[in-house]
Amino acid sequence: MSSILTNTSAMVALQTLKGINKNLNMVQSEISTGKTVGNAKDNSAIYAISKVMESDVKGFKGISDSLGLGSSTIAVARQAAETVTDLLTEIKGKVVAAQESNVDRGKLQTDITALTDQVKSVVGAAQFNGLNLVNGSNTSVDVLASLDRSSTGVVASSITVTSQNLSTGAYVAKNVLGTSTGVSASGDTAGFALAAATGTGTIAIAGAATGPNAFAAGDKVSLRIGDKTASYTVSAADVASTTPSDIVAVGLKNAVESLGIAGLTVNYDSATPGTLAFTNAGTKAQSVSAQFTNAGAGGLGALSAIDVTTGAGATAALGNVEGLIQTSIDAAASFGTVQKRIEIQSDFIGKLSDSLKAGIGTLVDADLEEASARLQALQVQQQLGTQALSIANQQPQSLLSLFR
């Protein structure tokens, strides 16, 4: 049956043409934007995933900047520690020269003082963007390193950089070792050699219970025997006792014995308060040096106590400067380790960002080769659909011939 009110063929052709035009618009959108999923309407699930990943990429860009800043800050601190190590090595050379009696120890001390001032200058200048990691003004710094996403949310993780105190300031002499064997003029350093089999020497701790020379919490006495170090740090309870020097002496005795040096014995007699008697019964000669550092002094505060103007002072300085060099070496090594870790993390963040970008592209980017082929096919279909609709619209005209 033919009808001029209902043209089924035209309706079918029209719906077909509408579908073709819709697909053609989608392909043209893919070609113009380069994406198969340009908004949430295209594919809500893929859109949500891609947007979360894009936000992570933005976050990792900020993390990369943070790691770059942290690496630069630590590089300055590491370079400062390495420079201080070089300067302390020069000071050691002067101290070694002062062991000879036929030298001008006064001029050597002048050189040591100048090098000490240079150490202070290096430590004071070692800042990046106002942050100094070697002068003792900071305890630790956190460098933003990653964003850790899980089902429960996002957590920022950091790399902690522990600062190193290479400051030389705030040293206060207290004449703690004033009656020790080989004591220096300052009274806070002492040193002597223990001959093999028969060597003896004493370290006498003379911290007062009250007054300007009294021990304070945080004061430290260090002993270096050969290449090993023992130390005791004064506590608040020690300060509150009536015999702090005895407590420090016993603490040092226990620390030295824990080193396990063959043939070395350390005796403490309560009849001679604060005094440790060293005896070397071993087959190897040993050198002993002692150093007092007050609580307010920097990590290299003992450098101010080095005095080679006398033979005793030169002997004491030889062992003590070794400890100072080790402090700066440890600081440089610590900074180097953290800087290497930050560089590895920065490299990983860069690769991770690239992987996320590639993943986003896989989810939402259009295949332009396929889109080009579909575009040409749909254009042909559009032309044919238009012709089909035109033919269908002309069918009612054929009914006019029935009424002639």
Same domain, residue pair 61 and 139: yes
Domain count for the chain: 2
308 domain-assigned: no
Q: Is the pTM of this model over 0.95?
A: no
2 domain-assigned: no
Same domain, residue pair 68 and 119: yes
Q: Give rounded-to-5 percent helix, strand, coil for the chain.
A: 55, 20, 30
Q: What is the pLDDT along the chain (404 residues), one digit of tens a residue?
A: 667 777 888 888 889 889 888 888 888 877 887 788 888 888 889 888 888 888 888 888 889 999 999 999 999 999 999 999 999 999 999 999 998 888 899 999 999 999 999 999 999 999 998 899 998 887 788 998 888 887 777 888 899 999 998 988 777 888 888 888 988 887 888 888 899 988 999 999 986 666 677 888 888 898 989 888 899 999 988 888 888 888 999 999 999 999 999 899 999 987 888 899 999 998 899 889 888 888 878 888 888 888 888 888 888 888 889 888 999 999 999 999 999 999 999 999 999 999 999 998 888 888 788 888 888 888 888 888 888 888 888 877 777 777 76
Same domain, residue pair 100 and 153: yes
- Return the SS3 of 12: helix
CATH number at 214 reads 3.30.70.2150
Same domain, residue pair 195 and 277: yes
Same domain, residue pair 163 and 248: no
Q: In the block, which residue shows the tokens 């894009």?
A: 54
252 domain-assigned: yes
214 vs 208: CA distance, rounded Å: 4
Domain that holds residue 237: 189-296
Same domain, residue pair 210 and 269: yes
Q: Which long-range contacts (CB under 8 A, 24 or more apart) does 344-353 make?
A: 345/67, 345/145, 345/146, 345/159, 346/64, 346/67, 346/68, 346/71, 349/60, 349/63, 349/64, 349/67, 349/146, 350/64, 352/60, 353/57, 353/60, 353/61, 353/64
The kind and range of the H/E element at 147 are strand 140-150
Same domain, residue pair 348 and 252: no
370 domain-assigned: no
Same domain, residue pair 337 and 270: no
386 vs 404: CA distance, rounded Å: 30
404 domain-assigned: no
158 domain-assigned: yes
Same domain, residue pair 110 and 217: no
Same domain, residue pair 61 and 152: yes
Same domain, residue pair 140 and 240: no
379 domain-assigned: no
CATH number at 343 reads 1.20.1330.10
Query: Residue 179 in contact with residue 299, Cβ under 8 Å?
Result: no
Same domain, residue pair 223 and 143: no
- Return the SS3 of 174: coil
Tokens of 161: 């950089």
309 domain-assigned: no
